Amino acid sequence: MKLKLPWQIISCCSFLLLITYSANAQHVLNGKVRDEKNGALPGATVKIKGTSRGVATDVDGAFMLEIASPDEVLQISFMGYKTLEEAAGNRRTATFTLTVDEEQAKLQEVTVVGFGTQKKVSVTGSIATVSVKNLQQAATPSLSNALAGRLPGIITRQASGEPGSDQAQVFIRGLGTWVNRSPLILVDGVERSMNNINAQEIESFSILKDASATAVYGVRGANGVIVINTKKGEKGRPRVTLRSETAQLTSIRLPDYINAVEYAGLMNEGMKQVEQPPRWSEEDIQKFRDGSDPYLYPNVDWADIIMRKHTYQTINNLSVTGGSEIVRYYANVGYTDQNGIWKDDPANNYDTNERMKRYNYRSNVDINVAKELVLELGIGGIIQQGNFSSIGADALLDALRRTPPMAFTVKNPDGSPGGNPTSIGSNPWGLATQSGYSVHMHNTLQSTFSARWDLSGAVTPGLSVSGKFSYDYYSFAGINRHKQFAVKQYLGKDPVTGEDKYTVFREEQPLGYWVGNGSNRALYTEFMTNYARSFGKHAVTGMVLYNQRDYVNINAGTSIENLPFRRQGIAARAAYSYDDKYLVEFDMGYNGSENFPKGKRFGFFPSISAGWVPSGEKFWGENNVVNNLKIRGSYGQVGNDQIGRRFLFLTTVNTRTAQGYAFGESQQFWPGIDELQIGTPNVTWEVATKANIGLDLGMFNNKLVLQIDAFAEDRDGILLQRGVMPDAAGFMPASIPFGNLGKAKNRGIDGMLEIKNNVANGLFYSFRANVTYARNTVIENDEPPQRYAYQSAKGHPIDQPFGLIGLGFFKDQAEIDKSPRQTFQDIVRPGDIRYEDVNGDGVIDNFDRVPIGFPRTPEFMYGFGGTVAYKNFDVSIFFNGAARASLYLNGPSIFPFLKGQGSYNVLREFYDNRWTKENPDGAKYPAVTDDLNVNNYRQSTIYMKDASYLRLRNAEIAYTLPTALTQRAAISSLRIFINGLNLYTWDKIKVMDPESNDGVGSYPLQRSYNIGLQVNFK
């Protein structure tokens, strides 16, 4: 039978249970833990002080905790934040805000070093970093273009703005060699390009500059190292970020050529200069001026015909990150689209303008398969498609330089491209729009798998092991659909029939078809053991690593080039610090490659560094305005095995194209054999011996930070082809042996100053300045003895230009007669360049050439700027500049009539500043003649320009919408920004960009006006 309890008994028992529960738990507190920016802190510890009762916050920073008494004290802690203690009280809900523990953060802050990270307080090498936020202010598809002036020790130069080919040259502490000067670039620890990844994917960007920082890279460390780490997953609920920006691009300094009226007058002026009758009558020139006969007397602005003044680009990224204690993930997809400056022909059913479209994917997943074991998987995919004119941007720019405004009309009356018999196929409009197109596809796969095992519990505290394997694959496929357009010269109308008359020089051809492809793959393997442990005030760290790389050019043109490029070695680091005040570190790399002879393939590259932190001493005092002062120094050796040639220790012969001979009565032909490469049995790598002394200073609780370094480098073993080999030795030019005989030195200083402060009323301001000065000198280059010591490259910078010293222009024949004889051409006239007789022999010749100006790469680079933020508004501005660099104008359009009358276009820069009898004193360039002027068209100080500049590199204004508005749409923050790149330049050249290569300019750099938004979803 069922037992029935009366309701009174049930109620009584329930009441007793409630009394019992209340005795043990007054109430349940529902709380949230936030940081200073109201962000959730998942994994924070919330406990009752003095008890074992406690919980951890969930992915939203929320928790529930039973409170037994209002007098109990809550103790809330999270790594890197100050522990918060508050009375529990009778609250049922509460939000707790933790503040950053500045002192602890300083001690725990880490810096990226070779093959890992290290506590910043213990770093003794020379390392510089830049925030990703600063890189994002430059709306550019190529990351290298965002670096100018941003870091101490970096020197950059961007010579072109062409989509897909606009990367800047990047050097760390200038040049130490005349072979390969590029730094080693590592993305997630693997050798990769930095110009095809988006700034939004990056977690940290660092450069390693001295021997202490780079010795672990051995034969790859001499030119410095750039270390880029991409973002990792963060614990918490999924957080989605969208950043989208679109820019209008405007070309900086398009070429400005003279018109047909001016050109015809210049031709006549050149004829008059050589005492010849004029080429054009006043009636002819009037027809050019009034356009009354545009087909026979054309006046064409070719730059305006084929070049756009404005174009566009867009950069978009969407990322998600989140995870738990077990799995954390980060993924980003990006789309970049940049258009070129060439105009299209609407009649074409294909696009001839340049356009670069890039699709990026990046994913990093970390999995804790056990508490001590973490697996990491990184995948990167880059698909880049480029659309181009079939002949390329360089050929189009060359056509502009070579085609005068009067050469022919753009289009004949029948619509065909204009032409003439001396310039068949050179019509710039025809080349830009009627010559077909090409498409290039670049596909890159990057994959990295790694594992880290903490052996602190299993073996000894502080010990861990890790391994890494990466597989990268790159492929290229190109299609070129080139065609030849018809070339006709319009002769006017037939006087009898009235029909247009033409001379046909070339018939139009159909689109051709050419396919090209290439591919390569790289394998990288790494095994590492790390140890880091503190014993009271003593701290010891160590690292031992083995790595190897195998790179294969799959589509190599020869069997030799198809052989794998292999490199392997070991690296080690040992560091000791006492009380974070006395620091010493030893680093080494022992590695080599197959590119050198057996028994000489490996080299040892050691370094030692030390540091002292006076601010940690007792005598310093806790209230000193200088809260941090570190003095550090390093000395060591690193190598550079990128010598430009493979297997130089082997001797090779030519059996295919060598000189042959005929023998016998029948004169039968027998192929001969030539020497090609004379083996150099002792060929080896370059060795850089580096010394560095640095100072790190922090004042007013690091509101002011100063970092300054002085460095010295001596580079030995630079590979060069023997220069002292006499012709009598019988070597063909290509077979002259090589040797590691070159020597150079490099000295300089770099530094950074940063000021930042938060004011109580919500105002934040910051200022940052960087400076780099690097001066190199050639010590030995194996050049033959020079007749005059001043013509030796020794003792001068690498890439030092040589030329004549221009003293001005001859005013009249009397001045010519009393001046030293100039031997470059038979007749020298008034208006020609007058050169200095350096050796005083009364003759101007090539023995009067001397070092002039500076090399093209700047010796001095700097940047400065700052940010002001008030509540939801922020404004940033950044300048960068360079000095001690020279640029030389030369070639078509600055040398008029280089191939005779009417050949080549002419820049207005020359036209407005040339010597004439009416303007003998204010001229910058010589008088024009009718043909090639050998005396005037040679490198001299007349064409040398100071390439120093100051550029307003970036400016940005932004507004972040109030949280009260965005939360309703499940948005944690929404920031709208407007920024610009390359906004204004102060320089002395004007006619072309000061970062351009020597010549008369290339594809122009772009000024961007960019608008975008960044949305962080909850």
pLDDT of residue 547: 96
Assess contact for 240 and 320: CB atoms under 8 A: yes
Chain-centroid distance of CA 987 in Å reads 22
Distances (CA, A) of 57 to 46, 67, 320, 675, 841: 7, 16, 21, 76, 88
pLDDT of residue 107: 56
Distances (CA, A) of 550 to 461, 522, 553, 563, 985: 35, 6, 10, 10, 44
pLDDT-based confidence at 104, cuts 50/70/90? low
Beta bridge partners of 358: 336, 384
DSSP string for residues in 206-232: EEE-SHHHHGGGGGG-TT-EEEEEE--
Evaluate if residue 109 carries a pLDDT over 90: no
3-state DSSP call for residue 688? strand
pLDDT of residue 548: 96
Kindly report the pTM of this predicted structure: 0.89
pLDDT-based confidence at 14, cuts 50/70/90? very low
Amino acid at 131: S
As a 3-state breakdown, the chain gives helix, strand, coil percent values, each rounded to 5, of: 15, 45, 40
Alpha-helical runs (H) found in 295-364: 302-306
- Measure the CA–CA gap between 1009 and 365, rounded to whole angstroms: 36
- Measure the CA–CA gap between 626 and 588, rounded to whole angstroms: 34
pLDDT of residue 3: 43
Percent of the chain residues past pLDDT 70, beyond the cut: 97
| pLDDT tens-digit map of 527-577 | 999 999 999 999 999 999 999 999 999 998 888 889 999 999 999 999 999
Q: Which residues have a Cβ under 8 Å from the Cβ of 17 and sit 6 or more positions away? A: none
State the CB neighbour count (10 A cutoff) for residue 346: 7
| pLDDT tens-digit map of 38-94 | 778 888 899 998 888 888 888 778 898 888 888 899 999 887 788 899 888 888 888
**Closest alpha carbon to 526 in 480, 473, 570:** 570
- pLDDT, mean of residues 253-267: 95
Give me the chain's average pLDDT, please. Answer: 92
pLDDT of residue 17: 43
Evaluate if residue 776 carries a pLDDT over 60: yes
| pLDDT tens-digit map of 725-747 | 887 777 877 788 899 999 999 99
- Measure the CA–CA gap between 908 and 805, rounded to whole angstroms: 24
Chain-centroid distance of CA 516 in Å reads 27
pLDDT of residue 661: 83
Which uninterrupted H or E stretch holds 16? helix 7-24
